C-alpha cells in the first residue's frame, strides 16, 4: 500500500489498478491546484482551483516524471478512456 501523503494541499493517497498496473493516486484540493493541467482521460484542461487526482505507476520511486493529473470523473472512468501513453518507466525500486 502507498505511504501516507505529506504534500501540502493533497488529500488521501491510495493505490489503485489501471490496465493491470498498480498506480499511486493522490487527491488534490482546489486550493492546492494553482496551475492548469491537461487531463489524459478527456484531453481537456484542468483549470486552476479545480479539485482533481494525480496518478503515477506505483513501481516508480517518486513518480515526478510520469505523474498525470486527471479530472476525478475521468479517473473514475479510466477503463473506458484512453490516456496518452506514459513515457518509458525506469528501473523498479
- 73: phi then psi, degrees, rounded to nearest 5: -70, -35
Please, which residues have CB within 8 angstroms of residue 34's CB and are 6 or more apart in sequence? 48, 49
Whether residue 4 contacts residue 11, with contact meaning beta carbons closer than 8 Å, is answered with no
DSSP 51: -
Model confidence, pTM: 0.74
- Domain range summary for the chain, segments of one domain joined by +: 10-80
Give me the tens of pLDDT residue by residue for the chain, a chain 93 residues long.
444 444 545 678 999 998 889 999 999 999 998 999 999 999 999 999 999 999 999 998 777 889 999 999 999 999 887 655 555 555 655
Phi and psi angles of residue 18, each rounded to the nearest 5 degrees, phi first: -145, 115
Amino acid at each position: 500500500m502507498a505511504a501516507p501523503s505529506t504534500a501540502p494541499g493533497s488529500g488521501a493517497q491510495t493505490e489503485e489498478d489501471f490496465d493491470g498496473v498498480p498506480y499511486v493516486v493522490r487527491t488534490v484540493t482546489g486550493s492546492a491546484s494553482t496551475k492548469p493541467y491537461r487531463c489524459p482521460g478527456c484531453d481537456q484542461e484542468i483549470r486552476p482551483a479545480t479539485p482533481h487526482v494525480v496518478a503515477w505507476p506505483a513501481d516508480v520511486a517518486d513518480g515526478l516524471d510520469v505523474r498525470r493529473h486527471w479530472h476525478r470523473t475521468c479517473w473514475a472512468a479510466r477503463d473506458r478512456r484512453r490516456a496518452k501513453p506514459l513515457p518509458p518507466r525506469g528501473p523498479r525500486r
